Amino acid sequence: MADQPLALVTGASRGIGAAVAQALAPTHQLLLGGRDEAALTELASRLPGARPWAVDLTDASAVARAVAEIDSLDVLVHSAGVARLGTVEESPAEVWRRHFEVNVVAVAELTRLLLPALRAARGQVVLINSGQGLSVRAGWGAYAASKFGLRAFADALRAEEEAAGLRVTSVFPGRTDTEMQQAVVASEGGDYAPEKYLRPESVAAAVVAAVTAGPDAHLTEVTIRPRPQVSLP
């Protein structure tokens, strides 16, 4: 166990991050990121080699303290994120600031602080982006802008660190069955039908594919869409 590679997964208290943690658990020691300590402790109790890593990623001094224990890191998965729908007219500056604070600035700062540990392990950074990081629909401006920014961050990091041995993978999932999706559908006034959405486990499988790619390979971008349910004749 102790000789397994170490992965830090943010947003592991629920949704896609929790599914990624469960998918990596058989092969990795895990630090489970999030603010909900009870949820992290409960998940850690079910995953051998996993420990809660509870920190608010927008609290710069708390993040700096929390990374101090990490001197070598094989995998950093950024899944923590926020989404609040609204048109441009409905979205004051605070909405834009919050999206950028959590979805971009916190990701950049955590990665920056962990770069020495990632370089030491010739590690991998995986960023859970979104279909909205590739194209935008009405009512998604602030979230999509933050995810376009996250994609730019990933591309810059890859260009700067690939020669040092780091791999950087952006994953672009479509709508996925999580609490975030439930809140989005509720704000749209729609009916929630989980079968219409990706399962978090399917997004986690893409993360595992990127992490387990052979040493000669670098999965730079993975796009995943929900597959329409087709009834065969």
Among 80, 104, 118, 145, binds ligand NAP (CB under 6 A): 80
Best CA proximity match to 187, nearest among 116, 122, 139, 123: 139
- Strands (DSSP E) contained in the chain are 6-9, 29-34, 50-54, 75-78, 124-128, 167-173, 221-224
Q: Which of 143, 148, 153, 172 is catalytic?
A: 143
Q: CB-wise, 180 or 216, nearer to ligand NAP? A: 180
The CB-of-177 to ligand NAP minimum distance in angstroms stands at 7
Q: Which stretch binds ligand NAP (CB under 6 A): 24-32, 85-93, 155-163, 169-177?
A: 169-177
Q: CB-wise, 117 or 150, nearer to ligand NAP? A: 150
Distance CA 47, CA 7 (A): 13
Contact between 17 and ligand NAP (CB under 6 A)? yes
Distance CA 92, CA 207 (A): 34
192 belongs to the catalytic site = no
Q: With contact defined as beta carbons under 8 Å apart, do 92 and 113 qualify? A: no
Interaction site with ligand NAP (CB under 6 A): 10-11, 13-17, 34-36, 56-58, 79-83, 102, 128, 130, 173, 175-176, 178-181
Catalytic residues: 143
